[in-house]
Amino acid sequence: MTHDHPFDIYRWSFDTVFMLSRILTLLQLTRMALVFTAISNGWAAMLLQSRATGQAITVPYAIAMTLASIGLYTFGMALNDVIDRRRDSQIAPGRPLPSGRISVRSAHALCFVLAVASVAAGGWMVWLHPGQWMTLLIVLWTLALIGFYDFAGKYLVAAGLLTLGLIRFFHATIAAPTLAFPWHAVLLLTHVTLLSAVCYHLEGKRPRLTPKHWLTLSLGLAAVVVTLVTLLIYRRGGGSGAGETPLLLALWIRPGLAYVGAAVVTFVAVAITLRLKADDARAAGRGIMLYGVLWLIVYDASFVVGYVGWRPALIILSLLPLAWLAVQAMRAWAKMVDLSAKPEYQRAR
């Protein structure tokens, strides 16, 4: 019978903490806890497209869509931290890059791998469904929008806020490039744009949102939505002739939208409640942003239950508690690793 030397036990404990810290660093850099919202958007888009077109969903195709969602989301989050590392060193020194827990070179390499992975997943989807060649182009376009936002859009206020909505919109069209069912992607666009704007204002970010910014954002969002709907009406047969398709049927306006309407009204009530109960506007903005991002899963489930069925809707809705638990686990894990870290001492002055 052998006994471990105390030094070996301490070294094992230190190595374990170091490994956990490295994993936590990668998860923090990529905001992995909220990646379930992107996965949910992709799954809902697949199911709605399948319902509208009759094209079956295979397991490999679902896996490819999941990988594309994970790659795009984590790429955007990691790239944002790479670009903001100097600003974060002043206002959030505990973030992975300014704290030195990951090098800039490693972060660049990670961004490259994630971007390539999302493109490869998009290519896999095209290979599985050869007729949907637009899928890969949408993946590339979404990557371009993410790059635009992280490098420049976030500094353009209204344009940046609208870009955030467009990123979600195009992500939801990867598995539905024909927009056979348009309202899912349109709601994601509208929700993310308005949510980002409201929370930007509540948190007092700079430059401040002025009435001109609000007007520009509102007109831009309205122009995008109206253009999309007009193109859909034109493409799907709003004209005349024996083969004319009724407008409501062409745009998939069905009673199932009532579930979506209920989800929208419920979130508005939740957001107002959070604002009233918060100690200040900044805390309210942070809380509403978290709940608003998680609520994307509720929207996905409401569309699926109204147009596909309650069983797949429950599968999608199951991602909501997973995302919530992941957020809480990440917070607790970060505190635990911080407490386990080697203390730092400062020279007395």
pLDDT at residue 24 greater than cutoff 70:
yes
Q: Where are the domains of the chain?
A: 28-330
CB 43 within 8 A of CB 65: yes
Q: Which two tokens stand for residue 124?
A: 């896999």
Q: For position 346, what pLDDT does the model report?
A: 45
How many beta carbons lie within 10 A of that of residue 14, not counting itself?
Answer: 12
CATH architecture for residues 28-330: Orthogonal Bundle (1.10)
What is the secondary structure of 290-329 as a DSSP string?
HHHHHHHHHHHHHHHHHHT-HHHHHHHHTHHHHHHHHHHH
| Per-residue pLDDT reduced to its tens digit, 215-240 | 999 999 999 999 988 877 776 654 44
CB 316 within 8 A of CB 304: yes
Please name which of 206, 171, 210 lies closest in space to residue 188, comparing C-alpha atoms: 171
Q: What share of the chain is helix, strand, coil (3-state, %, to 5)?
A: 75, 0, 25
Q: For position 16, what pLDDT does the model report?
A: 57
pLDDT-based confidence at residue 179 (cuts at 50, 70, 90) = confident
First to last CA, the chain: 53
CB 57 within 8 A of CB 46: yes
Q: How far apart are CA 54 and CA 65, in angstroms?
A: 18
Q: How far apart are CA 295 and CA 169, in angstroms?
A: 15
CB 87 within 8 A of CB 48: no
Identify the three-state secondary structure at position 243: coil
Tell me the mean pLDDT in the region 23-50. Answer: 93
| Per-residue pLDDT reduced to its tens digit, 289-344 | 999 999 999 999 999 999 999 999 999 999 999 999 999 988 887 676 555 554 44
Q: What is the four-CA torsion angle of 178, 180, 184, 190, rounded to 10 degrees?
A: 60
pLDDT at residue 123 greater than cutoff 90:
yes
What is the secondary structure of 18-62 as a DSSP string?
HHHHHHHHHHHHTTGGGHHHHHHHHHHHHHHHHHHH-PPPPHHHH
Q: For position 253, what pLDDT does the model report?
A: 76
Cα angle 175-177-180, degrees, rounded to a multiple of 5: 95
Write the burial class of residue 331 (CB in 10 Å: 0-12 exposed, 13-18 middle, 19+ buried): exposed
Q: For position 252, what pLDDT does the model report?
A: 72
Write the burial class of residue 291 (CB in 10 Å: 0-12 exposed, 13-18 middle, 19+ buried): middle
Contacts of 142 (CB under 8 A, 6+ apart): 72, 167, 170, 171, 174
